Chain A
Amino acid sequence: MYKLTGVTRLYQKGRRTVAAVQDLDLSIEDGEWLAVQGRTGHGKSTLLNLLGGLDRPTDGTVGLDGTDLGALRETQLTRLRAEKIGFIFQTFNLIPTMSAAENVEAALIPLGVSAADRRAKIAAALDAVGLADRAAHLPSEMSGGQQQRTAIARALVKQPTVVLADEPTGNLDQDTRDEIIALLERLWHERGLTLVLVTHDTAIARRAQRVAVMSNGRLTIHQATGSATASGIGPSAPSPSG
């Protein structure tokens, strides 16, 4: 699915040049669950942005199913994200004036789905995350966990092949965190998604098939021993070198 070769992303901070990602090589198989850990400011979110086509590498190539994302035009990247990539954010990033159903619908708008089909898909997505009875509620009328479930429904309603989750449990309490991770794991397993999840939480990271650690923009792969691998769910773990 993903093949990153010699990827570097540099930022200019005044007169200094900061390397958010340095000379990174990484392969991610179809249906794999990769957790990315690391301290704040060491390049985790930058890696996720590069995988999602939200950013372009300064050097190297980010290949997705054989296509170099860096070579695509902005409209092509936007189309790719609309069709194939689902995002889940730490702060949920729901539209505050729209209900849960309407926030999920926002992901279908770029695809030109008919109104009847949209209604069916939205209902199915909310049902899958256990929010069928909250369809008409605004984000301000839902708990943090419910908001994140709505965001998960939005990410999955278009049947993506990749889900990129940036600290999805960062703003949640312990119990809710476990609920959300369990939900994500179930959906990953049921739908054969490729899931890349950024987290600070080692316990969560260990549930993935592989763990990558970002440190000063460089990536190191560690073998995971979490339930995803132990139960044989998903593809077998690749070698530590990626």
Chain B
Amino acid sequence: MFFVTYLRRELRRRMRQAIFIALGLALGIGLVVTVAAASAGVKKAQSGVLSALYGVGTDVTVTGAAPGPPKPGSKSNNDQNNYGLQAGPNGQTEICTSNGKCINAAGKTIDQLTASYAGIGQSRVAEAARLPGVTAAAGGITLTDNTTTFGHSSSSLPQSSSFTLDGVDTGKTSLGPLSGASLTSGHSFTAADADTGVAVVDSGYAKSENLKAGSVLTIGGVKFTVIGIVRQSQASSPPDVYVPLARAQAMSLYAGSLKGEVTTIYVAAASAADIPAVSKEISGLLPGSTVTTEASLASEVTGSVTSAAKLANDLGKWLAVLVLIAAFAVASLLTMAAVARRVAEFGTLKAIGWRTRRIVAQVLGESVAMGIAGAAVGVGLGFAGAAIISSVAPKLSATVPGSSGAFSLAAGQAVGPGQGGGVPRRPGTTASHVVAVPLHPSVTVGVIVLAVILAVAGGLLAGSFGSWRIARLRPADALSQVA
């Protein structure tokens, strides 16, 4: 075909210039692809952190207010699982129950359960599920079990340990903390486990406590049989143990029990566009509660992953744009120069009957061919850039916010008898923590398509300047230049 032959021969004639233009475009496009891949990787890393925080499929999380201390004379003060500490007459530490009985703490272990948030009536879960834009809602309870062991000597420091515990709706495990977990052994909850003494344990906790499927776990004096071990992203600071919601509600807590209540409601919206409206509706339904979405949580997650996101989005994007502009400018200038050198050739073609648009098509074809070559090399450079980032970039980290609502036991506070002979318990606090975030830049099909479009656009832009000159060319003037 004459068009292709002419195009090919002309590019071969000015091979060096064609390579220079293609490489310039390749550099710009390679940078765009690399930055887009890095951005996609950082975004994926951020999403991984955020979705792990309250599980896949959960769009809105509702938590109660921070739990307050038990009111004097309230039922919780008479609960046998509530304890307090005070200094005895001889300076020893004493454990006191709510009925005022105090014993020496030496050699004793106290085990205390506390809720991370104040309770929300369980009926609110069904109300939230009926809100417009909501596809599902599930309730959950977040507890912390703190164990303190006092030494036999008054000079030895008490040893504390704690683990976190989540009560989950076993009929809706696709929402909430278990939704992102993957089973490593045994089996997970079924709807039939709604009020049974079974537990699922996080793999990290299972390893440290030497637990496996079939092991028996005691929580707040109640025995649970481990039915499965799961693994979760550590970014989510997953609970150590999961039990059916009804069993968690029945547990005796420091500040009372959560019978008929939940501390967290997990809500799935019909679509991403519905999330803001759903958040607003829930805030209206539950004033005083804390409503969080991925967007609001995103602003709380800090660390180098956030800095990397800013770097990719701001500096990276603008650098890529600037390099592309420079590449387009150089391509345009060189194409115009090439057209200027071929004025006599184009004048001759006009003289022998070629229409301007046919000559313009030839020049545009040459420019687009260089652009496509630039795109091919640029995508390759982009892949290489993404691979380099993957191998040499420093590990990212994310500082995720911790749960709140814990409080300290005041000295002299009335307490009740506890696990292991009556030992007071201290409510726990989950602080913010840093998690390592893997960065895997990914070149998507969309980015490749964008690269080709940019390259073709660059070629067309470069060719259009030359085409403008051809359109204005008068054959007589062009031929007189040869003479």
Contact = CB atoms under 8 A, between A and B. Distances in A.
Interface in B455-483: 474-476, 479-480, 482-483
Contacts of A105: 2
Contact of A102 (B2, B348, B354): B2
B352 A106 contact: yes
Given A95-B345, A97-B10, A102-B2, A55 B476 contact: yes
A95 B349 CA distance: 9
B12 A97 contact: yes
B16 interface: no
A107 B482 contact: no
Interface stretch (A61-69, A85-93, A223-231, A234-242): A85-93
B15 to A, nearest CB: 12
A79 B358 CA distance: 13
A64 to B, nearest CB: 15
Given A82-B353, A91-B482, A110-B355, A96 B13 contact: yes
B9 A98 contact: yes
Contacts of A46: 476
A97 B6 contact: yes
Given A93-B348, A95-B6, A102-B2, A83 B482 contact: no
A110 B483 contact: no
Contacts of B483: 45, 90-91, 166
B398 interface: no
A81 B351 contact: yes
Nearest to A46: B476
A46 B474 CA distance: 13
A81 B482 contact: no
Given A89-B482, A98-B9, A106 B475 contact: no
A78 B482 contact: no
A54 B475 contact: yes
Given A45-B483, A93-B344, A98-B6, A109 B354 contact: yes
Given A89-B482, A97-B10, A78 B353 contact: yes
A110 B479 contact: no
Nearest to A80: B353
B350 interface: yes
A49 interface: yes
Q: Which of B351, B474, B480 has the most CB of A within 10 A?
A: B351
Interface in B420-476: 474-476
Interface residues of B, number: 26
Contacts of B480: 45
Interface in B129-159: none
Contacts of B355: 75, 78, 110
A38 interface: no
Contact of B2 (A55, A91, A109, A111): A109
A108 B36 CA distance: 48
Interface in B72-96: none
Q: Which of A46, A89, A105, A158 has the most CB of B within 10 A?
A: A89
B349 A78 contact: no
Nearest to A55: B476
Given A97-B10, A97-B13, A154 B479 contact: no
B5 interface: yes
A52 interface: yes
A87 B479 CA distance: 11
Nearest to A49: B476
Contacts of A106: 2, 349, 352, 354
A54 B479 contact: yes
Interface in A78-136: 78-79, 81-83, 86-87, 89-91, 93, 95-98, 102, 105-107, 109-111
Interface in B328-357: 344-345, 348-356
B351 A107 contact: no
A220 to B, nearest CB: 23
A97 B395 CA distance: 55
B5 A81 contact: no
Interface string B179-211: 000000000000000000000000000000000
Given A81-B351, A81-B353, A54 B6 contact: no
Contacts of B476: 46, 49, 54-55
Contacts of A96: 13, 345
A12 B3 CA distance: 38
Nearest to B3: A109
Contacts of B5: 98, 102
A107 B352 contact: yes
A45 B351 CA distance: 14
A79 B353 contact: yes
A158 B480 CA distance: 24
A40 to B, nearest CB: 9
Given A95-B6, A98-B6, A110 B351 contact: no
A102 to B, nearest CB: 7
A166 B348 CA distance: 13
Contacts of B344: 91, 93
A78 B9 contact: no
B349 to A, nearest CB: 7
A78 B356 CA distance: 9
Contacts of A82: 352-354
A96 B345 CA distance: 9
Contacts of A91: 344, 482-483
A97 B9 contact: yes
Contacts of B345: 93, 95-96
Contacts of B353: 78-79, 81-83, 107, 110-111, 158
21 contacts: A54-B479, A55-B476, A78-B350, A78-B353, A78-B355, A81-B352, A86-B352, A87-B351, A87-B352, A89-B479, A90-B483, A95-B348, A95-B349, A97-B9, A97-B13, A106-B349, A106-B352, A107-B352, A110-B358, A111-B353, A166-B483
Interface of A: 45-46, 49, 52, 54-55, 74-75, 78-79, 81-83, 86-87, 89-91, 93, 95-98, 102, 105-107, 109-111, 154-155, 158, 166
Pairs of residues from A and B, 8 with the lowest C-beta to C-beta distance, nearest first: A82-B353, A97-B9, A93-B348, A110-B353, A55-B476, A49-B476, A54-B475, A54-B476
Given A46-B476, A52-B351, A107-B353, 11 more contacts: A78-B355, A93-B351, A95-B345, A97-B10, A102-B6, A105-B2, A106-B2, A107-B352, A109-B354, A110-B354, A155-B352
